[in-house]
Each structure stands twice: as structure tokens, then as C-alpha cells.
């Protein structure tokens, strides 16, 4: 199942709801591109909802963490609805 991403904005906070698997490759590249586009447009507050994500590949997550560290902009990226595993 490909990763589906739904984006909405509420009071300057960008909410990204993910559905599917977050794995290294095309799926995670789509998320990274979306976050990069938001940052480029001036977004400083992003929340990623992982409630409907049934699998996270550690390599994919590591790629996103490293990319986020490379950004010189200040802001916040929050994760919500994480599963115990």
C-alpha cells in the first residue's frame, strides 16, 4: 500500500496525516518533498499524524531526521499518535 498524505492548515499549523507504510524510497521521498515545500513557503509549525501508519522503516525515518537537521530555518516539527512499536 503506498503512503497517502493528506495536508491541511489550521491557524498557521500544517497537519500532515499519513496513511500506509513509511518506508525508504518513493513513499518517504514524497513526505520529504512535501515537508521541504512547506518549509520553503515559510511554514514553521508542522505536525505529522502517524495514527494510520502501520509500519515505519528505520532507514526512512533516519533519512527524514537527517534532512530536518540540515535545515537552517527555525520552527517545530511534532509527531502525534505514535504507536508503541
Environment class of residue 5 by beta-carbon count within 10 Å: exposed (0-12), middle (13-18) or buried (19+)?
middle
pLDDT at 4: 94
pLDDT digits (tens, 9 = 90+) for 35-79: 889 988 999 999 999 999 988 887 766 655 555 555 555 778 888
- Confirm whether pTM is higher than 0.95: no
Q: Give the integer Cα–Cα distance in Å for 67 and 85.
A: 23
**Residue with more model confidence, 10 or 56:** 10
Instruction: Write down the residue that cell numbers 525515518 correspond to.
Output: 61
Q: Once rounded to an integer, what is the mean pLDDT over residues 23-34?
A: 83
Query: What is the layout of strands, in order, in the sheet containing 4-10?
Result: 4-10, 13-22, 45-56, 76-80
pLDDT of residue 69: 54
Taking the C-alpha atoms of residue 47 and residue 49, their distance in angstroms, rounded to an integer, is: 6
Which domains are delineated in the chain?
4-80 (3.30.750.24)
Amino acid at each position: 500500500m503506498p503512503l497517502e498524505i493528506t495536508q491541511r492548515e489550521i491557524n498557521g499549523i500544517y497537519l500532515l496525516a499519513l496513511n500506509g507504510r513509511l518506508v525508504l524510497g518513493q513513499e518517504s521521498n514524497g513526505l520529504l518533498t512535501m515537508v521541504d515545500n512547506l518549509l520553503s513557503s515559510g511554514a514553521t509549525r508542522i505536525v505529522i499524524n502517524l495514527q494510520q501508519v502501520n509500519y515505519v522503516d528505520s532507514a526512512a525515518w533516519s533519512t527524514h531526521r537527517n534532512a530536518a537537521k540540515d535545515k537552517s530555518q527555525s520552527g517545530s516539527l511534532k509527531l502525534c499518535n505514535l504507536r508503541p512499536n
